[in-house]
Structure 1
Amino acid sequence: MSEENSHIPPAPAPAPVPPPVQPPINWEREVLEKLVFATIKEQRANRRWSIFFKVFILVVIFLAVANYFNFSILSGDAEVGRHTALIEIEGNIESEGSGSAAVVIPALNKAFADSGSVAIVLHINSPGGSPVQAGMIVDEVRRLRKGYPDKPLYAVVDEICASGGYYIASAADSIYVNKASVIGSIGVLMEGFGFTGTMEKLGVERRLLTAGAHKSFMDPFSPQSDKDKAHAQQMLNEIHQQFIEVVRSGRGKRLKETDETFSGLYWTGARAIDMGLADGLGSVDSVARDIVKAEDVIDYTQHEGLPERVLKKFGASVGAGAMKATVEAAKPALR
C-alpha cells in the first residue's frame, strides 16, 4: 500500500435500520374493554333517567290519589273543635275555578255539616261572572241555611265584590266590607263584536248556512237584526230582574233603594254600608273574633291539586279554551 492511500478515511458504517413497529399483542382486548366500559356508562345514564321518570310518575299518581280522596283534617268523619269555617271565592264566577258551583257547593256542605263549625264565612274577591253559577250557589246557601238555622253565614269582601260576586254575597246573613272595597254593579251584560263593515271593506263574503231563522243570533260576522237585538235585551232584563229579587230577598228592609241601586254602578264599601248593600266594616279575622266569637278559622275551600295544574300545563284544556272563547261572547254575564 502506498503512502497516499494510507491517509484515506474509512467509509462510514451504514445507519442501523429501526425494527418495524409492532401493534400491541393485546390490542383487541383493549378495544373490547373500551367498548364494554362505554356500554356500561350509557346503561347507567339510561337507568338514571328511567328511575327519574318512574319516581316522577309515582309522585304524580300519589298526588292525584291524595287529591281525589281529599286527604286533610276535614276528610271522612274527622272533625275539629269549635271554629269559624272559611270558604274562599276568588276571581270570576264561572264553571271552573274557586268561584264555580262545583267547588263552592261541596265546601258549603262540609262547613255546615261539621259539628265544630259555629258559623261560615264566605271570603269573596270577585268582579262577577256567570249568573247560572252564582244562582246555583245561592240556591244551595238558602237550602243549607234552612237545614242549619243555628249556623249563620257571613260574607266578607276583599278588594271587590261586584255583580255575580255580590249576587252570592246578598244571600248571606250579613255582609262585611273594607271601607275602600268595590261593591255593587247589580246589572247584566252581553258583549261581543261586529265585523260586517270591515268585511265589506275587505271584500270578504260571509257564507253561513243555518237551519232556524235565528240560529245566527249574536254571530259577529252577520248583521244584527232589530228582532235579535230585542230578544237579547229581553233576556238581559229577565236575568237582571232575577238578580234584583235575590238582592231584595237577601237584604230585606236593610236595603235603601234608589234609582241607582240596580243601575249597574259601583260604590265603595263605606258608601255601600250607607245604601244598605253591606252591614259594616270587617275582615275574616275580625268577624271570627268579634261576631262569631270563634277565633280559630278552618279553611274548607277546595283548592285545585297539583295533578290538575300539571295537566293544564301540558295543554289539556287548550282546545277547549279556544272553543270557549268563541262561545262565551253570546253568554249573559253578571259583571
Structure 2
Amino acid sequence: MVSLRSYLPRRFRKDETVIPLVRLHGTIAAGGNQFRPSLNLAAVASQLQRAFDDKQAPVVAISVNSPGGSPVQSRLIFRRIRDLAEEKNKKVLVFVEDVAASGGYMIAVAGDEIIADPSSIVGSIGVVSASFGFTGLLEKLGVERRVYTAGKNKATLDPFRPENPADVEHLKELQLDVHQVFIDLVKERRGARLADDPNLFTGMFWSGVRGHGLGLVDQLGDMHSVLRARYGEKVRVRIVSAPRGFLGRRLPGAVAQFQGQALAAAASEGLNAVEERALWSRFGL
C-alpha cells in the first residue's frame, strides 16, 4: 500500500525531521553545457539558496563527490555556502562520498562538520596545471603556425612552441599564490583539528580513515546512519534538485534526442573530456 504521508504538509508531520540535501558532484569548471555539465557556482546557486531557505530544517546537508578542478569556482561555491550558513544561521554537514580532493575538498571545508566514508579519498591540498605539448606536430603535418602578438608575453605557454623555462617559472609563481589561498582557507576552517603533519599541504591525498586521523574530516560514516543517530528514525532527506530542462526533462537526459548536437559537442570538447577523466583517474576512480 502506498503511503500518503509524504504528501501531507509538513505541519501535519511534526514528528518527522526533514533535512535538505544538495548534491555537489562532478569536476569543477566554469561553463559547461547540457551534454557535459560542470560543477560551478552558476549551476548550484539556486539549489543552495532553496536548501538554506528551509526555515524548519535543523541543518543543511551537502554531499560532495569531486576530484577538483577550477580553484576559482571551488572557492566561489565554498563562499556561497558559508555566506548562506551565516545569513540563515544554519549548521552545515558535509558528507564525502567517493572523493573530496583538491577543489572538492575546498568545498567540503565549508561544512561545520565533515563526515566521510572510511574508503573515500580526501585531501590533495595543492594546485596542478596540465596541458599538452605539440612541438613539431604541425611541421610533420605540413602546417605553418602564425602567431602575432602585442606584448612579448601574450603567447606564454603556447603548446605548439618549445617550453620556455621563464614561462614555467611564472606559472609556478601563480600556483604558489593559489596554493597559499587554499592553505589559509583550510587552516581557517579546520583550525586546531588539523594534525601536525609535514605532508598535509603537499598535495598528498588519503583515505577517509587516514584523513580522520589527520583532522581533515570529523567523523567516519554514511549520511543516513549519521542523520538517524542525530535526529531519530523518522528523519527524512529531501534532495534539492537542479532545475528541470525543457519538456520537464533534466538537461543531461535530453542527449539522445539531439545526437547531432551531442556529436558536435563531443568533438569540440574532446581534450576537455580527457582532462576530466584524468582528474578522476588520479584517485583510482
> Shorter-chain-normalised TM-score: which range?
0.7 to 0.9
Find the aligned partners of 1:130 and 1:168 in 2 and give their Cα distance: 11
Separation (CA, whole Å) in 2 of partners of 1:326 and 1:212:
28
Which structure's CA Rg is the greater one? 1
- Equivalent residue letter for 1:122: I
- 1:65 maps to none
Q: How many residues align?
A: 257
2: CA distance, partners of 1:327 / 1:127: 15
- 1:51 maps to which residue? none
Give unmatched runs, 5+ long, in structure 1: 1-72
1:175–1:279: 8 Å Cα contact kept in structure 2? Answer: yes
1:300-320, Cα deviation, whole Å (9 max, x unpaired): 131654263466442446656
SS at match of 1:296: strand
For normalisation by structure 2, the TM-score amounts to 0.79
TM-superposed deviation, 1:88? 0.8
Going from structure 1 to structure 2, the CA distance change for 1:98 and 1:198 (only over 3 Å counts) comes to closer
C-alpha spacing 1:193/1:237, structure 2 compared with 1 (3 Å):
same
Identity of aligned residues (%): 36
* Counterparts in 2 of 1:322 and 1:86: CA distance versus 1, 3 Å: same
- The farther-off stretch of 220-229 and 296-305 is 296-305
Q: Which residue of 2 aligns with 1:178?
A: 117
C-alpha contact 2:136 2:160 (8 A) present in aligned 1: no
Distance in 1 between residues matched to 2:263 and 2:10, nearest whole Å: 39
- Decide which of 102, 108, 112 is 1:163's aligned counterpart: 102
Q: Compared with structure 1, are the counterparts of its residues 210 and 266 closer, same or farther at alpha carbon in structure 2 (3 Å cutoff)?
A: same
Within 2, Cα distance between the matches of 1:123 and 1:230? Answer: 37
1:268 aligns with 2:207: yes
Tell me which residue corresponds to 1:218: 157
**Which residues of structure 2 form unaligned runs of 5+?**
1-5
Structure 1 residues 200-209 or 183-192, which shifts more? 200-209
Partner of 1:282: 221
Which residue of structure 2 aligns with residue 89 of structure 1? 24
Distance in 2, matches of 1:181 and 1:303, equals 29
Partner residue, 2:187: 248
Shift of 1:87: 0.8
What's the CA shift for 1:282?
1.7
Match of 2:251 in 1: 308
Contact 2:157–2:164 (Cα < 8 Å) also in 1: no
Distance of 1:257 and 1:101 partners within structure 2: 33
Supply the distance in 2 between the matched residues of 1:153 and 1:163 (Cα, whole angstroms).
20
- 1:148-181 CA-partner distances (Å, limit 9, x unpaired): 22x2101111111111110100111011111111
Q: Distance in 1 between matches of 2:100 and 2:235?
A: 24
1:121 aligns with one of 61, 71, 81:
61
Deviates more, 1:286-295 or 1:210-219: 286-295
Question: How far apart in 1 are the matches of 2:262 and 2:59?
Answer: 37
CA RMSD of aligned residues (A): 3.1
- Cα distance in 2 for partners of 1:107, 1:307 equals 14
Report the TM-score, using the length of structure 1 for normalisation.
Answer: 0.68
Q: Which amino acid aligns with 1:91?
A: G
Farther off after superposition, 217-226 or 304-313: 304-313
Counterpart amino acid of residue 202 in structure 2 = S
The letter of the residue matching 1:94 is A
